[in-house]
């Protein structure tokens, strides 16, 4: 058997990276003259193992996580990546804006290995929100040779930063490809009748403290007004989140506080939802696939396409605004339907096809 024409390394470290790289990995595995290796940095441990198994992926290379702090992890990861890069790779593929993605891109750069950046061009231009992701993704943007923005807005951001147009391919977001994969292979789809539940998640550190309290008091008010509405709240395991959520909502009859859901459970919870309240970036991309309106518990979002398309609204965390917005959608079926029917502005499920077409055309 001859040497493959393309020797590709996919670098992942966290749950979202795995989700968004998984469909690309499976698609690349079917291509002739292509060897693709999956590297997991260990940035996420058990959560990562669950999601890898969900997508039938066994990493070819697993790094050992060293230390408990981000700094210790970074030092250990960078040293181990140095050894991996001794192999003659044709391309390193990274996704998003994590420490693992940045370290993978940086190490490849030092070894003159071209970098492909999946989900390129997301920007808030606020270094503190999200922190440190905003700066990490900008730095990856300076390193990458292939830029795969999910939306026209992301593409425009790259052009504004003087990235050459010929290096940019508008693809859509691979998260939709991943959803289509689990719908087909894992049987995800709506399984309940009626309105459905109100699904809530909040975990971002900029919302810790007062803002989480405000959201919880808003949910308590909504639950009291609508005892027939089931509120499903998978609670992040961080004590900073757990304590106020359980203190404020633990005894509300129609609020169900549960442990964090794995990927398949979350996709099913989305499919069965009436409405989503979240500060998660990923859910902003995923809820529209199932036609579920979403309220963003943040003051800004790097995914404004959801707002422009009409499938999401930015509500922040102040209790009065959260309550009033939910109440308006409860009372106005036409407004809810308009959001539900807006479609998913982040992709059509063909992002991986476009990425592979670009790589096969342009990767020497």
pLDDT tens for each residue of 22-80: 999 999 999 988 999 999 999 988 878 989 999 999 999 999 999 889 999 999 999 99
Q: pLDDT-derived band of residue 302, with 50, 70 and 90 as boundaries?
A: confident
CATH number for position 218:
3.40.50.2000
Residue 107 sits in the same domain as residue 132:
yes
Q: Is residue 186 part of a domain?
A: no
CA distance 239 to 237: 6
Residue 109 sits in the same domain as residue 248:
no
**Residue listed under structure tokens 């940045």:** 102
The pairing of strands 146-148 and 115-118 is parallel
Q: Is residue 45 part of a domain?
A: yes
The count of structural domains within the chain is 2
CA distance 11 to 23: 14
Q: Is residue 181 part of a domain?
A: no
Per-residue pLDDT tens digits for 191-213: 999 999 999 998 777 767 778 99
Looking at the predicted structure, is the pLDDT value of residue 3 above 70?
no
Residue 10: give the domain boundaries.
Answer: 6-173+348-362
CA distances to 66, 104, 274, 287, 345 from 219, rounded to whole Å, are 40, 41, 15, 20, 28
Cβ distance 147 to 161 under 8 Å? Answer: no
CA distance 317 to 298: 7
Tokens of 75: 């030092």
Q: If you average pLDDT over every residue of the chain, what do you get?
A: 94
Per-residue pLDDT tens digits for 223-281: 999 999 999 999 988 888 889 999 999 999 999 999 999 899 999 999 999 999 999 88
Residue 21 sits in the same domain as residue 156:
yes
Looking at the predicted structure, is the pLDDT value of residue 1 above 50?
no
Looking at the predicted structure, is the pLDDT value of residue 88 above 90?
yes
- Confidence (pLDDT) at 168: 98
Side-chain half-sphere CA neighbours of 242 within 13 A: 7
Residue 113 sits in the same domain as residue 52:
yes
Cβ distance 262 to 279 under 8 Å? Answer: no
Report the percent of the chain where pLDDT is more than 90: 84
Per-residue pLDDT tens digits for 319-329: 999 999 999 99
**Helix 351-362 × helix 174-186 angle, to 10°:** 120
Report helix, strand or coil for 270: helix
Q: pLDDT-derived band of residue 177, with 50, 70 and 90 as boundaries?
A: very high
Residue 250 sits in the same domain as residue 314:
yes
The whole-number average pLDDT for the span 181-191 is: 95
- Confidence (pLDDT) at 281: 84
Q: Is residue 216 part of a domain?
A: yes
The residues that are catalytic are: 97, 119, 133, 203, 205, 236
**Residue listed under structure tokens 């398949």:** 264
Q: Which residues have C-beta within 8 Å of that of residue 361, sequence separation ≥ 6?
A: none
pTM, rounded to two decimals: 0.88
Task: Give the angle subtended at the CA of 72 by the CAs of 69 and 78, to the nearest 5°.
Answer: 135
């Amino acid at each position: 058997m001859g040497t493959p024409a393309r020797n590709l390394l996919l670098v992942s470290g966290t749950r979202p990276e795995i989700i968004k790289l998984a469909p690309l990995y499976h698609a690349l595995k079917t291509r002739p003259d292509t060897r693709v290796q999956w590297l997991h940095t260990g940035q996420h441990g058990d959560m990562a193992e669950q999601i890898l198994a969900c997508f039938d992926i066994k990493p070819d290379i697993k790094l050992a996580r060293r230390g408990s702090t981000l700094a210790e992890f970074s030092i250990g990861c960078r040293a181990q990546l140095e050894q991996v890069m001794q192999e003659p790779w044709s391309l390193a593929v990274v996704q998003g804006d994590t420490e693992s993605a940045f370290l993978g891109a940086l190490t490849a750069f030092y070894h003159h290995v071209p970098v492909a950046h999946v989900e390129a061009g997301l920007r808030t231009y606020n270094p503190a929100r999200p922190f440190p992701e905003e700066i990490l993704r900008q730095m990856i943007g300076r390193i990458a040779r292939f830029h795969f923005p999910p939306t026209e807005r992301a593409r425009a951001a790259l052009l504004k930063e003087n990235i050459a147009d010929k290096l940019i391919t508008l693809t859509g977001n691979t998260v939709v490809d991943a959803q289509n994969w689990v719908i087909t292979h894992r049987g995800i789809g709506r399984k309940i009748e009626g309105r459905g539940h109100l699904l809530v998640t909040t975990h971002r550190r900029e919302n810790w403290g007062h803002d989480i309290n405000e959201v919880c008091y808003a949910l308590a008010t909504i639950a009291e007004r609508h005892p027939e509405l089931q509120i499903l709240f998978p609670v992040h395991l961080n004590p900073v989140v757990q304590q106020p959520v359980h203190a404020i909502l633990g005894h509300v009859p129609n609020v169900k506080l549960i442990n964090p859901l794995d990927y398949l459970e979350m996709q099913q919870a989305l499919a069965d939802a009436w409405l989503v309240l979240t500060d998660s970036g990923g859910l902003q991309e995923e809820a529209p696939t199932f036609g579920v309106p979403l309220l963003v518990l943040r003051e800004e979002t790097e995914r404004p396409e959801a707002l422009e398309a009409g499938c999401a609204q930015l509500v922040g965390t102040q209790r009065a605004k959260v309550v009033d917005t939910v109440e308006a959608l409860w009372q106005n079926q036409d407004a809810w339907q308009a959001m539900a029917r807006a479609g998913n502005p982040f992709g059509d499920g063909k992002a991986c096809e476009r990425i592979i077409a670009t790589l096969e055309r342009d990767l020497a």
